[in-house]
C-alpha cells in the first residue's frame, strides 16, 4: 500500500520502496489471523517477529491510565533493550482491567514466547479496542498457538499483520523506504493504526517500525522520541489521548554497515528515513480519522519558537469549529484565528496572515477579498492546507488532522453497543 | 421563562421570581427589534437601559483576538465604573474588522447614547455573530434610532432583548431571583446567549446581569470574577473560546439598603443570589449548545484541590468521545477515565470511582457489573450526571456541557454559507 509521498521531512536521500512492507527489512516476518475478539471476521491478532534479537525502543502514552500491555512491554524493552517479537491484539484494549488484565498481558507474552522459542522478556505486547473489559483469553490462547504458522517474510505476512491491528480504521497504514549507509542498503518500514481517541502525547495508538539498520537501543530510542514529537505527536483526530498509545521500533542489525550513532556520517540520512516513515504513518492516521473525509494540514510560521508554533498548530487542528467548517467546505478563517488566539501563545492580533491552500484570506489581520467559488472548490478536495503566518519570529510547525463529520458522531455514539 | 431550579450554589436565602425578568430589578428597561443584520426576521438589536448611573463590572474573553466592542465596553466601564446602558447586536461579531470595526463600535456607542440622552462613555456595546465581516451600519443606525421607543420596564421589553442577543440558540436564557438585605427586597436577574464557540475563559459569549442592589463597581467586579470561575468558566460546548465573550453586570442601587461590601452581613446572601443567576444561565447555555439534546453535568470529588478538580471536570466535559457516547446513550465509562487520565492532574489509576447518575460503573478502578438496560434508560434522559471520585484529597468541582450530535456538525459545516 503506497501511502502519499509528500513529506515535510528534510530533503532526503532515502527512496520509497513501492513494493516494500514491514517485512522488507532483513530478519523480519509478520502475520495475523482472526481469533475471535472482533465480532467481524477481520483479523484481530498479529505479530512481527525478528530472527535475531533486535535493538528495540518504545514511546508510550502520557495518559495516567496506562493499559496493562504497556507495563509488560516497558519491562520487556527495559530488560536489555532487545526484542524478538511484538504481539498485538485488536478488539479489546486490556485497559483498566486490574490485576487480571496484567496477568492476561503477561500470559500473552509468555505463551507467544514459548510458541516461537524465545525468552518471555524478548516479547512486547500491545492491545487496542474497548476499555474496561477483560480479554477473552480462550480466544487469545487459541490464536497465539495458531499464529506462528501464519508468519511470513513476504507481503502477505505484512498485510495480515496490518489488518490485525485495525479497529475503526478503514485502511491499512504501512510504508517502507530504503537508504544507503556505508554503501549498504538499509530498509526502514512501519505500520500503524488509528483512528479515534487520537491526540497522541508521546506516541500514537499503535505504531510499529522495523529496520535492518545496525543501531543500539539507546540511540534508536533518542531518535524515536525526537521523531515522535514532529510526527505522531502532531496529529489529532478528536483531542482524546488513548490509554494504549504505543510506538515500538525494532532494528535487526542485518544490513551489514558499521553501527549507527549520531556521529556516524549516515545518521542524518537514517534519521530522515525514520522521520519520513513516521510522518507518512501519522498523516495516514489523520486522514483515516473516525468519520474523516479529508486530511487537514496546518502549517504555522513566524511564531516566537517552534514549540509555540506547535501549540498553535495543534490548537487549530483540534478545533471542532475549524474541523466542521472544513467538512462543510466553508472558508471560515474567523474560526482559524479564533483558535490561534486561544492557544495561550504569543500572537500579535494585528499581524496575522491566513491562507487556505494558495488562497490568501487574511493579510496582516485584514480580510482579503477572495473568490468564494474558488475557495469552495479547493475545500472540497481531499486534502486541505491551512497556512498561518504570525510574523513574529522564525518558529514553525506542522500539524495534521481531519474534518469533523456526521460519521464521527455516528461511529462514537454506538461504539460499545 | 423559568429555567431549571436545581443549583449547586450554597443553600440559599434567595427566592426564584417565577414571573421576574431582567427588568424586574428597579431602574431597568429593556427592548429589542429586527434591524436587518440577521437574514431571518428575529430580533438582532437590543438594549438594557438603567434610569440612573448603574455601578458596572465586566469580565471578558482571554482570546488574543478581542472584538472591537470589547475595547469600547472596557473603556466605558473603566472611565468611572458606571453604565447607563448596554447595546447589543447579533448576526455579526464585529471581530477582526480592524480600524473600521472599531469606528463602527464607537459609532454604535455614541449614537445610542445620544438617542437616550446620556454620555457616550456610559454605554457598553456587545456583538455576536460571524467573525471578519464589517457591520452593515446603515441597518444598525436605523435600528438604534428606533430602539428607544421599544424600551419597556415589563416582561415584553425583557423578552425582546433576550431574543435580540441570540444566534444559533434555540431558547432564550433568563432568570430572576430576589433576596432580602437590611429588610429590603433586592432583585438579581440575568440573560445570556450561547451556543457555539463556547469554552469561556473569563466570561461567556454574552451574559448580562441586572440588579437593584446598592453596591460599588469594584466589589461587584470582584464578585463577578469569582462567580464566573464557578459558573460560566465551567461550561463548554465545543472547546472553542470566542473572540467576543463578555459578561456585564449593572447595579442600579435603587433597592434602598445600606451599601454592600464583603463585610456587610447581607454579602453572602447577595453573592449566593448572583452565583445562582450565573449558574442557571451557564447551564442553560450548555443545555442549548449547538445541536445538543442533553445537559451533561460532571462532578469531580476527591481531587488534590478544587483547581485540579476543575481541570479534570473540564477535560471530561470537553471530550468528544464522552460527548458522543452520551448522545448515543452508551455507558462508556472507559472514555470518562481516559479523559480524566489525560487532564495533566494527579490521579491514582487504582482508586477511581465513576457513576452515571446513581449507577456505579467503576469502583476503586475496578469495573462494577451494572444493568445495561437501566443505564440505557438513564442515559436517554435529557440530563446526564457523571460523577467521578478520585479518593485523593477534598478538591471538588462541577462542570457542564452537552452531547456531540449530528446537528452540531450540520450547524457548523454550513454556518457562513
In B, which residues are within 8 Å of A244 by CB distance? none
CB of B345 closer than 8 Å to CB of B311 = yes
Above 90 in pLDDT, residue A204? no
Give me the half-sphere count of Cα atoms (radius 13 Å) on the Cβ side of residue B279.
21
Q: Taking 80 as the threshold, does the pLDDT of residue A137 lie above it?
A: yes
Contact call for residues B192 and B208 (beta carbons, < 8 A): yes
Query: Is residue A209 situated within a structural domain?
Result: yes
**How many other CB atoms sit within 10 Å of the CB of residue B416?**
17
- What is the end-to-end Cα distance of chain A in Å, rounded? 32
Name every residue whose Cβ is closer than 8 Å to that of residue A226 and which is 6 or more positions away in sequence. Answer: none
Which residue from B394, B405, B401, B411 is spatially nearest to B296, judged by alpha carbons? B401
User: Are the Cβ atoms of B338 and A65 closer than 8 angstroms?
Assistant: yes
Q: How far apart are CA B397 and CA B298, in angstroms?
A: 8
B96 to A337: CB separation less than 8 angstroms, yes or no: yes
* From B204, B210, B231, B361, active-site residue: B204
What is the per-residue pLDDT across A86-132, written as a single tens digit (0 to 9) for each? 999 999 999 888 899 999 999 999 999 999 999 999 999 999 888 88
Under an 8 A CB cutoff, do A338 and B240 touch? yes
CA A271/CA A262 separation, integer angstroms: 9
B259, B312: one domain: no
A22 CB contacts (<8 Å, ≥6 apart)? A28, A30, A48, A158, A161, A162, A174, A176, A189, A190, A191, A208, A210
Is the Cα torsion angle B174, B327, B199, B216 positive or negative in sign? positive
User: How far does the CA of residue A290 sit from the closest CA of chain B (Å)?
Assistant: 11
Name the domain boundary from B232, B265, B287.
Answer: B287
> What are the φ and ψ backbone dihedral angles of A267, each rounded to 5 degrees?
-55, -45
**CA neighbours within 13 Å on the CB side: how many for B8?**
17
Q: How far is CA A41 from the centre of its chain?
A: 25
Structural domain that includes position B404: 295-413
Q: Which residues, 6+ apart, have CB-to-CB distance to B20 below 8 Å? A: B175, B176, B177, B178, B187, B189
Residue B12's pLDDT is: 59
Write the CA distances from B361 to A130, A243, B354, B355, integer angstroms.
15, 18, 6, 5
Split into its structural domains, chain B has a count of: 2
In this structure, the answer to whether residues B259 and B122 fall within a common structural domain is yes
Both A228 and A304 in one domain: the answer is no
Residues B211, B90, single domain; the answer is yes
**pLDDT reported for residue B130:** 83
User: Please, which residues have CB within 8 angstroms of residue A38's CB and are 6 or more apart in sequence?
Assistant: A44, A90, A91
Q: Work out whether the CA dihedral B202, B205, B210, B216 comes out positive or negative.
A: positive
Interface pTM (ipTM) of the complex?
0.75
DSSP A204-268: -SSEEEEE---B-HHHHHHHHHHHHHHTGGGB-SSSPPPS--EEEEEE--TT-SPPB-TTSTTHH
Using DSSP, state whether B258 is helix, strand or coil: coil
How many CA atoms does the CB half-sphere of B303 hold within 13 Å?
24
* CA separation, residue B306 to residues A63, A166, A290, A341, B302 (Å): 21, 40, 34, 27, 9
Interface test with A, best of B335, B390, B414 (most A CBs within 10 A): B335
pLDDT at B10: 44
Domain presence at residue A6: no
Q: B300 with B279, same domain?
A: no
Instruction: Determine whether the interchain pair B408/A409 forms a contact, defined as Cβ–Cβ distance below 8 Å.
Output: yes
* Cα within 13 Å of Cα(B201), Cβ side: 18
pLDDT at A9: 43
Q: What is the mean pLDDT of chain A?
A: 89
CATH of the domain at B123: 3.60.70.12
Whose CA is closest to B9, among B391, B388, B268?
A: B268
Cβ–Cβ gap B417/A333 under 8 Å: no
Percent of the residues in chain A that have a pLDDT greater than 70, as a whole number: 93
Q: Is residue A1 part of a domain?
A: no
Residues A123 and A33 in one domain: yes
A304's grid cell: 516566537
Rounded to the nearest angstrom, the minimum Cα separation between A365 and chain B is 7
Strands of the A353-356 sheet, one edge to the other:
A366-367, A359-363, A353-356, A383-389, A295-303, A395-402
CB A6: neighbour CB atoms within 10 A? 11
The residue among B220, B253, B287 that closes a domain is B287
Lowest mean pLDDT among A228-232, A255-259, B117-121, B201-205: B201-205
pLDDT, position B409: 86
Residues of chain A neighbouring B321 (CB-CB closer than 8 A): 196-197, 238, 240, 412
Q: Output the domain CATH number for residue B332.
A: 3.10.20.340
pLDDT of residue A5: 40
Out of B238, B262, B287, pick the residue that ends a domain: B287
CA-to-CA dists, residue B317 to A217, B47, B403, angstroms: 40, 33, 9
* Closest among B191, B190, B72 to B135, alpha carbons compared: B72
* pLDDT by 10s per residue, chain B, length 417: 333 444 444 445 889 999 999 999 999 999 999 999 998 899 999 999 999 999 999 888 777 788 899 999 999 999 999 999 999 999 999 988 889 999 999 999 999 999 999 999 999 999 988 888 899 999 999 999 999 999 999 999 999 999 999 887 788 888 999 999 989 999 999 888 877 666 654 334 588 899 999 999 999 999 998 998 888 888 877 777 667 778 889 999 999 999 999 999 999 999 999 999 988 888 888 888 888 899 999 999 999 999 999 999 999 998 988 999 999 998 889 889 989 988 889 999 899 999 999 999 999 998 899 999 999 999 999 999 999 999 999 999 999 999 999 888 888 887 665
Rg over alpha carbons for chain B, rounded to the nearest Å, is 21
- Specify the pLDDT at position B3: 37
* Statement to judge: residues A316 and A274 lie in one domain: no
DSSP B288-303: TSTT---EEEEEEEEE
Contact between residue A45 and residue A37 where contact means Cβ atoms under 8 Å apart: yes
B102 and B184 co-located in one domain: yes
pLDDT at B11: 47
Tracing cell 421570581 back to the chain, one arrives at B17
Asked if A240's CB is within 8 angstroms of B65's CB, the reply is no
**Strand-pair partners of B49:** B29, B85
Contact present, A69 and A120 (Cβ < 8 Å):
no
Position B263 in a domain = yes
Which of B324, B330, B413 comes nearest A328 by C-beta?
B413
Pair (B269, B327) in one structural domain: no
pLDDT at position B157: 96
B292: closest CA of chain A, how far (Å): 12
Domain assignment present for A9: no
Q: Is residue B59 part of a domain?
A: yes
The predicted structure's pLDDT at residue B129: 86
Give me the phi and psi of B55, to 5 degrees please: -60, 135
Q: Give the span between the Cα atoms of A157 and A134, in whole angstroms.
A: 28
Distance from C-alpha of A60 to C-alpha of B291, rounded to nearest angstrom: 35
A160 and A204 part of one domain: yes
Task: State the DSSP code for B152.
Answer: B
pLDDT(A170) > 50: yes
- The single-letter DSSP state of residue B315 is H
In a domain, residue B5? The reply is no
Answer whether residue B149 is part of any domain: yes
**What is the average per-residue pLDDT within A407-417?**
76
Residue in A with minimal Cα distance to B350? A98
C-alpha A386/C-alpha A401 separation (Å) is 11
Antiparallel, parallel or unpaired: β B246-251 and B207-211: parallel
Q: Does residue B204 carry a catalytic annotation?
A: yes
For residue A290, say whether it is annotated as part of any ligand binding site.
yes
- A97: phi then psi, degrees, rounded to nearest 5: -120, 10
Tell me, yes or no, whether B237 and B326 share the same domain.
no
- Residue matched to cell numbers 487542528: A317
Of all residues in chain A, what percent carry a pLDDT higher than 90? Answer: 63
CA-nearest residue to A349 within chain B is: B65
Instruction: Report how far apart, in Å, the C-alpha atoms of B247 and of each of A2, B193, B200, B232 are.
Output: 53, 11, 10, 9
Q: The C-alpha cell of B323 is what? A: 460527548
pLDDT digits (tens, 9 = 90+) for A337-347: 989 988 889 99
- Residues A232 and A381 placed together within one structural domain of the fold: no
Amino acid at each position: 500500500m503506497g501511502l502519499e509521498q509528500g513529506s515535510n521531512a528534510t530533503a532526503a536521500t532515502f527512496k520509497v520502496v513501492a513494493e516494500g512492507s514491514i517485512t522488507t527489512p532483513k530478519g523480519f516476518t509478520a502475520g495475523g489471523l482472526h481469533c475471535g475478539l472482533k465480532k467481524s471476521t477481520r483479523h484481530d491478532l498479529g505479530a512481527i517477529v525478528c530472527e535475531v534479537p533486535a535493538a528495540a525502543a518504545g514511546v508510550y502514552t502520557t495518559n495516567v491510565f496506562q493499559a496493562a500491555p504497556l507495563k509488560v512491554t516497558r519491562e520487556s524493552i527495559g530488560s536489555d533493550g532487545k526484542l524478538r517479537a511484538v504481539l498485538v491484539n485488536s478488539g479489546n484494549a486490556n485497559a483498566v482491567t486490574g490485576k487480571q488484565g496484567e496477568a492476561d498481558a503477561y500470559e500473552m507474552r509468555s505463551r507467544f514466547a514459548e510458541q516461537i522459542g524465545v525468552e518471555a522478556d524478548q516479547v512486547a505486547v500491545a492491545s487496542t479496542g474497548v476499555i474496561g473489559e477483560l480479554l477473552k483469553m480462550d480466544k487469545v490462547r487459541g490464536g497465539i498457538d495458531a499464529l506462528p504458522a501464519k508468519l511470513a517474510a513476504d507481503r502477505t505476512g505484512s498485510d495480515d499483520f496490518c489488518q490485525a491491528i485495525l479497529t475503526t480504521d478503514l485502511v491499512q497504514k504501512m510504508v517502507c523506504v530504503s537508504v544507503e549507509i556505508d554503501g549498504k542498503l538499509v530498509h526502514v518500514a512501519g505500520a500503524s493504526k488509528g483512528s479515534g481517541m487520537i491526540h497522541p502525547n508521546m506516541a500514537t495508538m499503535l505504531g510499529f517500525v522495523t529496520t535492518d539498520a545496525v543501531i543500539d537501543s539507546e540511540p534508536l530510542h533518542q531518535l524515536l522520541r525526537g521523531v515522535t514529537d514532529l510526527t505522531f505527536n502532531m496529529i489529532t483526530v478528536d483531542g482524546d489521548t488513548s490509554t494504549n498509545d504505543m510506538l515500538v521500533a525494532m532494528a535487526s542489525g542485518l544490513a551489514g554497515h558499521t553501527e549507527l550513532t549520531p556521529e556516524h556520517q549516515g545518521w542524518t540520512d537514517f534519521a530522515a528515513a525514520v522521520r519520513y516513515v513516521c510522518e507518512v504513518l501519522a498523516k495516514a492516521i489523520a486522514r483515516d480519522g473516525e468519520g474523516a473525509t479529508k486530511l487537514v494540514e496546518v502549517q504555522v510560521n513566524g511564531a516566537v519558537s517552534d514549540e509555540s508554533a506547535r501549540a498553535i498548530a495543534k490548537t487549530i487542528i483540534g478545533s471542532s469549529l475549524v474541523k466542521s467548517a472544513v467538512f462543510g467546505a466553508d472558508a471560515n478563517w474567523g474560526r482559524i484565528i479564533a483558535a490561534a488566539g486561544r492557544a495561550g501563545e504569543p500572537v500579535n492580533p494585528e499581524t496575522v496572515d491566513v491562507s487556505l491552500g494558495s488562497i490568501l484570506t487574511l493579510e496582516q489581520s485584514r480580510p482579503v477579498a477572495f473568490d468564494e467559488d474558488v475557495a469552495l472548490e479547493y475545500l472540497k478536495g481531499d486534502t486541505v492546507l491551512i497556512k498561518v503566518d504570525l510574523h513574529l519570529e522564525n518558529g514553525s510547525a506542522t500539524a495534521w488532522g481531519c474534518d469533523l463529520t456526521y460519521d464521527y458522531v455516528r461511529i462514537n455514539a454506538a461504539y460499545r453497543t
